[in-house]
């Protein structure tokens, strides 16, 4: 319908090629470092290619589809992927293979909660017999499960959950009930339309006594008709800010009966006579959430920011607007220091959080191995670290994606840029898997307890909180000094708020009031604690990684930039704590600006090294060839509103005015 408009040679493509020629490091080697080795890059590319070459997985750009089409296509593709492309024994969150598959997944998919929450819960809460029964069914997609914890009335405060599972000795069943409207399960992904089972978190009641939250497998739909079972009311909660392809659902249960064996009973059991047997700590009930907080940030936040950086930096390298030299040619907006100041620190965030996250995954895997041997002594530490890490990463990456979107000017507002999709995908990561504020408070609770102990009684990674403040020797901008600066700040924040808590409680104020009145400083201390962890982990990675000098230099510069950018945006905190002087802050700012200038020529190369394929981004601004304007026009042509030259509804409603206008103009014409 539209004629083609093409330039003979796109200036933008030429510009981006020049950027690549100017890069001062081997891009492929940085890709290998990012992936964890050359072999891993090869394996990831193989998996990505397998998915991208598969004709079943092709579909129109998401910004041209309705929600219904997006849900339908995602379900068709996900079912196909699960049965044909995923290894038979599933994928283990935290493994490299899991990461590679997550990179290969189509831009929209669903059934993932089944994979990342339902299956892991069967494994961690089920007895051997239960795992043997449910796991093969779940792996084969013979049963599809949601993770049904949150209710309409309660998400954060799990002790307030209202859904009940009452043991009926006569029939040896649990009777599941949502006593009020606010008790219905609300939000679980894949639950509204696709799931036929749910892992329901409910308050266990035996002979009128409450035993707290337990995990039950509840069948919600018939396996042959897919109709909701008697007593079950289930559906989609409606459209949200994003997640269009996912049927986040509601589930209301009235007298739904399940066999006694459907209580996942590795950690606690109900005997036929109603005796309750506790086999392990109640805290392990929360283990599924630790698992997700450790393993989701990479795919749900860090990769999302990496894509947003790729789009914004490639676009900024070809978008020319305004003059730097009076009388000279228009410059790429990436040449403005202010544009570099927006975008390059986001790249540093991607690297810092990715490598720090790998450290947490390793710690968590060690914890799981110990737990298998009955040792859960590290649970509190891993909970505190993973809670604040999830909160900090989701917060930093969400802010970063919005910075990238705005840095693309008007085109960043267009769905065709791919950036609004990324923003809507990443924003809920600040809420799901534990609302961020609530998680920071959990970390602070642990830190305040630690602050009253001796260093020798604390885990190695926490002992610095109660040890003497360290001196910085030499420039604030050295990596060693950055670590000291963040450690000192975290220790002083935690000690400061602990002092406040103690003073208030010594004056006789009730603990819950003390806590509420200290919560602003508690959250600050948890943020500083996790920042010192991230910086420390990134510095260790940069120091230890085996790579060529140019790559090492880039990583060191990104690491230093990450620390300095944080200091420069929060300098008041560092000054208030007395960790830095005004002179330090001035130096930190100048050094950040120098680093931006130094990294600028490599910016396109650094985002190329993430190695995202064009189809994994669906972005007219971020495609590899830099051909932004033609792509934007081609995408606009696909808008469903452009199907006809005359849109019937606009014609119908506006025609009377137009006819009036025509008559007036013709009258004027005839008068003249």
Ligand X SMILES: Cc1cc2nc3c(=O)[nH]c(=O)nc-3n(C[C@H](O)[C@H](O)[C@H](O)COP(=O)(O)OP(=O)(O)OC[C@H]3O[C@@H](n4cnc5c(N)ncnc54)[C@H](O)[C@@H]3O)c2cc1C
User: For ligand 9NY, which is the closer residue by CB, 169 or 445?
Assistant: 445
Say if strands 320-323 and 276-278 run parallel, antiparallel, or are unpaired. Answer: unpaired
Mark residues 139-158: x for contact with ligand X by CB under 6 A, - for none. Answer: --------xxxx---xxx--
Q: Strand, coil or helix: what is 107?
A: coil
Beta carbons within 8 Å of 326's beta carbon, 6+ residues apart: none
- Per-residue binding letters, 194-233, with ligand X (x by CB under 6 A): ----------------------------------------
Which of 246, 304, 191 is CA-nearest to residue 74? Answer: 246
Q: Which stretch binds ligand X (CB under 6 A): 161-169, 391-399, 428-436, 608-616?
A: 428-436
Q: Is 521 in the site for ligand X (CB under 6 A)?
A: no
Q: Is 92 helix (H, G, I), strand (E, B) or coil?
A: coil
Q: What is the distance in angstroms between the CA of the first residue and the CA of the last residue of the chain?
A: 37
Largest CA distance in the chain: 100
47 to 86: interface string for ligand 9NY, x by CB under 6 A? -------------------------------x--xx---x
Binding at 283: pick from ligand 9NY, ligand X, none (beta carbon under 5-8 Å per type):
ligand 9NY
415 sits near ligand X (criterion: CB under 6 A): no
248 binds, among ligand X, ligand 9NY, none (CB under 5 to 8 A by kind): ligand X
Residue 112 binds which one of ligand X, ligand 9NY, none, with CB within 5 to 8 A depending on kind?
A: ligand 9NY
List, in order, residues 6 or more apart from 634 with CB less than 8 Å away. Answer: 620
Rounded CA gap, 31 and 40, in Å?
10
Does position 188 interact with ligand X (CB under 6 A)? The reply is yes
For residue 265, report the phi and psi dihedrals to the nearest 5 degrees.
Answer: -120, 35
- Could you say which of 34, 71, 118, 147 contacts ligand 9NY (CB under 6 A)? 147
Specify the residue, 290 or 560, whose C-beta has the smaller distance to ligand X.
Answer: 290
Q: To the nearest 10°, report the CA torsion of 18, 24, 29, 31.
A: -50
Q: Which residues contact 389 (CB under 8 A, 6 or more apart)?
A: 293, 294, 297, 356, 357, 360, 530, 533, 534
Q: How far is the CB of 648 from ligand 9NY (least distance, A)?
A: 39
Q: With CB under 6 A as the rule, give the number of residues binding ligand 9NY.
A: 39
3-state secondary structure of 151: strand
Residue 184 or 564: the one with the smaller Cβ distance to ligand X is: 184
Q: Which of 67, 257, 445, 552 binds ligand 9NY (CB under 6 A)?
A: 445
Q: CB within 8 A of 542, min separation 6: which ones? A: 355, 479, 552, 555, 556, 559
Residue 134 binds: one of ligand X, ligand 9NY, none (C-beta under 5 to 8 A by kind): none
User: Of all residues in this chain, which one has the CB nearest to ligand X in the complex?
Assistant: 155
Give 317 or 371: the residue with its C-beta nearer to ligand 9NY: 371
Q: In the annotation, is 433 catalytic?
A: yes
**Which of ligand 9NY, ligand X, none sits in contact with 437, Cβ below 5 to 8 A by type?**
ligand X
Q: Check binding of 98 to ligand 9NY (CB under 6 A).
A: yes
Structure tokens belonging to residue 35: 């992936």
Among 98, 118, 134, 187, binds ligand X (CB under 6 A): 187
Is 150 a binding residue for ligand 9NY by CB under 6 A? The answer is: yes
**Residue 189 binds ligand 9NY (CB under 6 A):** yes
Residue 234 bridge partners (DSSP): 251
Regarding 591 and contact with ligand 9NY (CB under 6 A), the answer is no
150 labeled binding residue: yes
Which CB atom, from 420 or from 536, has the smaller least distance to ligand X? 420
**Burial of residue 634 (number of CB atoms within 10 Å: 0-12, 13-18, 19+):** middle
Identified catalytic residue from 433, 573, 618, 630: 433
Question: CA angle, corner 527, sides to 523 and 532, nearest 5?
Answer: 150
From the list 309, 343, 217, 319, the residue with the least C-alpha distance to 599 is: 343
Token pair 């109603």: residue: 274
Contacts 24+ apart (CB under 8 A), 583-590: 584/476, 587/475, 587/476, 587/477, 588/476, 588/477, 588/564, 589/564
Closest by alpha carbon to 300, among 407, 422, 437? 422
Site for ligand 9NY in 410-439 (CB under 6 A): 432-434, 438
Residue 291 in the binding site for ligand 9NY (CB under 6 A):
no
Residues 6+ apart with CB under 8 A from 606: 30, 313, 347, 554, 599
Residues that bind ligand 9NY (CB under 6 A): 78, 81-82, 86, 91, 98, 101-102, 105, 109, 111-113, 115-116, 147, 149-150, 156-159, 189, 283, 286, 289-290, 299-300, 379-380, 383, 432-434, 438, 442, 445-446
Any idea which residues carry the catalytic annotation? 433
């Amino acid at each position: 319908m539209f004629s083609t408009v093409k330039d003979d040679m796109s200036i933008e493509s030429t510009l981006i090629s020049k950027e690549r020629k100017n890069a001062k490091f081997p891009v492929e080697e940085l890709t290998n470092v990012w992936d964890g080795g050359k072999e891993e890059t090869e394996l990831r590319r193989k998996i990505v290619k397998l998915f991208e070459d598969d004709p079943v997985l092709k579909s129109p750009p998401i910004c041209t589809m309705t929600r219904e089409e997006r849900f339908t296509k995602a379900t068709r593709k996900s079912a196909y992927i699960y049965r044909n492309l995923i290894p038979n024994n599933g994928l283990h969150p935290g493994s490299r293979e899991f990461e590679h598959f997550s990179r290969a997944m189509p831009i929209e998919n669903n059934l993932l909660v089944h994979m990342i929450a339902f299956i892991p819960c069967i494994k961690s809460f089920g007895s051997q017999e239960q795992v043997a029964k449910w796991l093969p069914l779940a792996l084969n997609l013979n049963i599809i499960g949601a993770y049904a914890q949150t209710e309409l009335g309660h998400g954060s405060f799990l002790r307030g959950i209202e859904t009940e599972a009452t043991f009926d000795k006569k029939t040896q069943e649990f009777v599941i009930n949502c006593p009020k409207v606010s008790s219905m399960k609300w939000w679980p992904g894949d639950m509204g339309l696709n799931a036929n089972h749910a892992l329901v978190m409910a308050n266990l009641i035996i002979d009128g006594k409450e035993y707290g939250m337990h995990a039950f497998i509840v069948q919600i739909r018939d396996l042959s008709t897919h109709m909701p079972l008697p007593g079950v009311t289930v559906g989609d909660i409606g459209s949200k800010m994003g997640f269009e392809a996912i049927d986040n659902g509601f589930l209301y249960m009235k007298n739904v009966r399940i066999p006694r064996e459907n209580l996942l009973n590795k950690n606690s059991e109900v005997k036929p006579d109603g005796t309750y047997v506790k086999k392990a700590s109640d805290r392990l009930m929360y283990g599924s959430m630790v698992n997700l907080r450790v393993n989701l940030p990479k795919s749900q936040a860090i990769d999302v920011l990496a894509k947003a950086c790729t789009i914004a930096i490639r676009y900024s390298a070809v978008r020319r607007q305004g003059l730097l030299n009076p009388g000279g040619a228009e410059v790429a907006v990436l040449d403005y220091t202010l544009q570099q100041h927006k975008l390059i620190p986001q790249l540093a965030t991607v690297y810092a959080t990715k490598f720090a996250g790998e450290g947490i995954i390793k710690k968590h895997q060690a914890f799981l191995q110990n737990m298998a041997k009955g040792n859960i002594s590290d649970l509190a530490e891993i909970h505190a670290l993973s809670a604040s890490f999830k909160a900090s990463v989701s917060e930093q990456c969400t802010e970063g994606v919005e910075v990238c979107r705005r840095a693309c000017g008007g085109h960043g507002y267009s769905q065709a840029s791919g950036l609004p999709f990324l923003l809507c995908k990443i924003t809920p990561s600040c809420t799901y898997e534990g609302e961020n504020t609530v998680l920071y408070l959990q970390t602070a609770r642990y830190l305040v307890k630690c602050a009253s102990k001796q260093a020798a009684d604390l885990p190695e990674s926490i002992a610095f909180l109660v040890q003497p403040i360290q001196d910085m020797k030499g420039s604030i901008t050295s990596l060693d000094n950055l670590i000291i600066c963040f450690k000192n700040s975290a220790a002083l924040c935690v000690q400061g708020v602990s002092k406040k808590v103690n003073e208030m409680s010594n004056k006789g104020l009730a603990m819950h009031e003390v806590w509420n009145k200290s919560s602003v400083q508690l959250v600050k201390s948890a943020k500083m604690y996790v920042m010192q962890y991230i910086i420390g982990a990134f510095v260790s990675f940069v120091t230890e990684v085996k790579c060529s000098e140019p790559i090492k230099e880039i990583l060191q510069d990104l690491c230093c930039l990450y620390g300095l950018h944080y200091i420069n945006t929060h300098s008041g905190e560092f000054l208030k704590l007395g960790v830095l002087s005004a002179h330090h802050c001035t130096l930190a700012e100048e050094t950040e600006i120098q680093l931006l200038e130094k990294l600028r020529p490599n910016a396109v190369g650094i985002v190329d090294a993430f190695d995202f394929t064009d189809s994994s981004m669906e972005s007219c601004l971020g495609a590899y060839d830099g051909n932004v304007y033609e792509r934007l026009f081609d995408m606009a042509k696909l808008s469903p509103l452009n199907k006809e030259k005359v849109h019937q509804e606009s014609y119908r409603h506006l025609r009377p005015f137009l006819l009036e206008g025509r008559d007036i103009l013709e009258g004027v014409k005839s008068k003249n």
